[in-house]
């Protein structure tokens, strides 16, 4: 058997499938489910997988058979399957998850494997769709759910405060042509909507109903209430579905609630609310959009009411942790006294673990943070700053000292950085910059349009439609996201225009590497542009250019033949709406008047070395 080359890709979006060198590898659906679960959840005990996919006495035997089938499918390609007795099962090193957003939903076609797997699948879809703007709007989700429901049916609708669960159920009733009724009253082909406090007798009515659709509202926080446990224990699993309602996408909010606002104001409200329609309506009703946004009392009360379900000690730990808008180091968890309560906070939906602990929803973290008394807030920031100093975490320490309002020698933090992060921090602090070569664009005329062929997409929080690109970056997204295009076969001009709103702490993020927007040209040489707030058009070194990050962007760049182009963002909190086009360089005679545009060359003549100190 020859040794395989390259990796096998498991496609996350659209129909569930495994591909090798562009061709699909045919697998049983439960085999695919095993691979998806291992890649998304990590090493898993055989017992857990068996219960998830089969849930009966022969589950372990069925799992062994399915793993054998996987090995048989992969062996002809030169890949080894799972080892006999391997427990926990680990995702194979040669297997990669292709997270590039595309049409459809994540992992389509795996919905009816088992009731337990479907519950896991719905949770994964909710997280993925909330992190991929435009992937699925509320209207489309309503249509998708309606197409899969045939009463009698039980739908458990999960969501955070203000997520619009009632309006979603009303839209679902309208799509199905059913009356919407609150509570267990009425009979026949109607949608019964149950919310806390749940009415007496609802379980018996739902279990005996043969015509209605029962929608039970459930908070994303906390454990299943008794009514849901009773219903799920007795209702047929094939007629039960649990949906975690995703927030509004930026596109939905921009075309709806925020359609009449300037881009920056709309983006500011959207990031603060996390796409929660209820939160957005409260902010709009307050009408205060300049400076720090107010915290609506209704939103504060809703979040605090949910937090009351926690033990007092866990609730206080959650408040302390809210001062840090990034994943936590173990030392910081200890310093803020959160470690003893991680299990409770994860079980009740406030924190998640993705390699590091972090808040499940940054908009909820913001509510908790702004609910703190100023004195406590300052105290917790100082505790965090001290711990970050002990860990030599320069930028997190700087952030917490700034937020604590302490007098700080910023020159020491600046000197600890180099290259574009140092320039970005200086620009944020309005400090004098070293001497760099200033860039002056040349005047050129664009000719006919050049087609740009997409080569690959990467990262979360990013979506594209033709020439239009959109980023919705939140602190939960780790790593850059963006797009790479195929090599230019002739010299051309690249036109980048649109809008950008970035809330990176200190301009470069708590990590110090959260570049808001980066344009890269790769050929025999590499040229890179960092778009930073408060910057001037300068060349830091022969490969690195800095340009101002403006709310309204409109830049032109020269692209030599044989060069590929990529555009990405690693911002910790940002919304970017951009349009990218390419044109030939017009060779019209000098006597022929054609509009000329200012064009930046990322491969200018070499400049002198950097001056950092």
| Tens-digit pLDDT profile for residues 412-462 | 899 889 899 999 999 999 999 888 888 889 999 999 999 898 888 888 888
- Whether residue 105 is predicted with pLDDT greater than 80 in this model: the reply is no
Neighbours of 208 (CB within 10 A): 8
| Tens-digit pLDDT profile for residues 461-502 | 888 888 899 999 998 888 899 999 999 999 999 999 999 999
* Mean pLDDT across 205-217: 94
* Mean pLDDT across 12-24: 85
pLDDT of residue 2: 41
* Mean pLDDT across 375-401: 95
- Whether residue 127 is predicted with pLDDT greater than 70 in this model: the reply is no
- Whether residue 609 is predicted with pLDDT greater than 70 in this model: the reply is no
Give me the CATH code for the 437-601 domain, please: 2.60.120
CATH fold group of domain 1-104: Arc Repressor Mutant, subunit A (1.10.10)
Q: Are 206 and 154 in contact (CB under 8 A)?
A: yes
- Whether residue 7 is predicted with pLDDT greater than 80 in this model: the reply is no
- φ and ψ of 562, to 5 deg: 80, 15
For residue 342, give both structure tokens.
Answer: 């991680």
User: 295-404 and 437-601 share one CATH topology?
Assistant: no
- Measured at the alpha carbon of residue 493, what is the angle toward residues 490 and 495, in degrees to the nearest 5? 140
For residue 454, give both structure tokens.
Answer: 């997409």
The architecture of the domain spanning 295-404 is Orthogonal Bundle (1.10)
Query: Where along the chain do its domains lie?
Result: 1-104, 295-404, 437-601
Q: Are 369 and 322 in contact (CB under 8 A)?
A: yes
pLDDT of residue 524: 85
Closest CA to 248 of 157, 176, 159, 169: 159
Q: What is the mean pLDDT of the chain?
A: 88
């Amino acid at each position: 058997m020859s040794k395989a080359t390259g990796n096998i890709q498991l496609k996350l979006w659209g129909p569930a499938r495994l591909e090798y060198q562009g061709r699909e590898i045919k697998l049983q659906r439960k085999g695919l489910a095993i691979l998806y679960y291992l890649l998304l959840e990590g090493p898993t005990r055989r017992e857990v997988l068996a219960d998830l996919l089969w849930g009966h006495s022969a589950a372990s035997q069925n799992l062994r058979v399915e793993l054998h089938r996987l090995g048989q499918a992969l062996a002809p390609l030169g890949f080894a399957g799972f080892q006999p007795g391997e427990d926990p099962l680990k995702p194979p090193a040669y297997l990669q998850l292709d997270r590039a957003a595309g049409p459809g939903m994540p992992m389509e076609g795996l919905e009816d494997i088992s009731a337990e797997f479907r519950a896991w699948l719905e949770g994964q879809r909710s997280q993925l769709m909330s992190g991929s703007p435009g992937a699925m709007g509320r209207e489309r989700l309503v249509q998708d759910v309606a197409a899969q429901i045939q009463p009698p049916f039980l739908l458990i609708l999960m969501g955070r405060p203000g997520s619009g669960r009632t309006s979603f159920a009303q839209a679902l009733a309208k799509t199905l042509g059913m009356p919407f009724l609150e509570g267990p009253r009425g009979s026949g082909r109607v949608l019964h909507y149950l919310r806390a406090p749940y009415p007496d007798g609802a379980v018996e009515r739902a279990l005996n109903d043969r015509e209605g659709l029962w929608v039970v509202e459930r908070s994303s926080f906390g454990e299943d209430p008794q009514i849901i446990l009773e219903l799920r224990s007795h209702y047929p699993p094939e007629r039960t579905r649990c949906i975690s309602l995703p927030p509004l996408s930026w596109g939905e909010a921009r075309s709806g609630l925020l359609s009449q606002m300037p881009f920056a104001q709309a983006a500011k409200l959207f990031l603060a609310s996390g796409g929660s329609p209820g939160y957005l309506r409260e902010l709009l009703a307050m009408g205060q959009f300049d400076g720090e946004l107010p915290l609506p009392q209704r939103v504060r009360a809703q979040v605090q009411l949910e937090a009351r379900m926690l033990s007092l000690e866990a609730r206080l730990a959650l408040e302390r942790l809210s001062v840090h808008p990034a994943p936590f180091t173990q030392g910081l968890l200890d310093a803020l006294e959160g470690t003893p309560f991680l299990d409770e906070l994860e079980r009740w939906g406030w924190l998640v673990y993705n390699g590091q602990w972090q808040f499940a929803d940054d908009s909820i973290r913001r509510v908790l943070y702004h609910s703190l008394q100023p004195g406590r807030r300052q105290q917790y920031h100082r505790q965090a700053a001290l711990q970050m100093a002990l860990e030599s975490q320069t930028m997190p320490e700087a952030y917490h000292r700034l937020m604590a309002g302490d007098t700080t020698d910023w020159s020491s933090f600046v000197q600890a950085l180099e290259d574009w992060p140092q320039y970005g921090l200086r620009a944020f602090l309005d400090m004098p910059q070293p001497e760099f070569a200033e860039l002056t664009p040349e005047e050129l005329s664009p000719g006919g349009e050049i087609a740009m062929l997409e080569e690959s997409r990467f990262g979360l929080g990013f979506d594209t439609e033709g020439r239009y690109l959109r980023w919705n970056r939140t602190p939960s997204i780790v790593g850059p996201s963006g797009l790479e295009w195929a090599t230019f076969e002739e010299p051309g001009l690249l036109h980048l225009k649109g809008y950008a709103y970035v809330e990176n702490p200190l301009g470069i993020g708590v990590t110090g590497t959260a570049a808001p927007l980066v344009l890269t040209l790769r050929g025999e040489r590499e040229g890179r542009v960092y778009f930073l707030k408060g910057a001037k058009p300068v060349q830091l070194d022969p490969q690195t250019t800095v340009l101002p990050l403006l709310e309204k962007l409109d830049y032109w760049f020269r692209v030599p033949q044989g060069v590929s182009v990529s555009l990405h963002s690693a911002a910790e909190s940002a919304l970017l709406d951009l349009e990218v086009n390419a044109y030939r360089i017009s060779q019209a005679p000098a006597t022929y008047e054609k509009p000329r545009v200012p064009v930046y060359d990322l491969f200018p003549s070499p400049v002198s070395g950097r001056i950092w100190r």
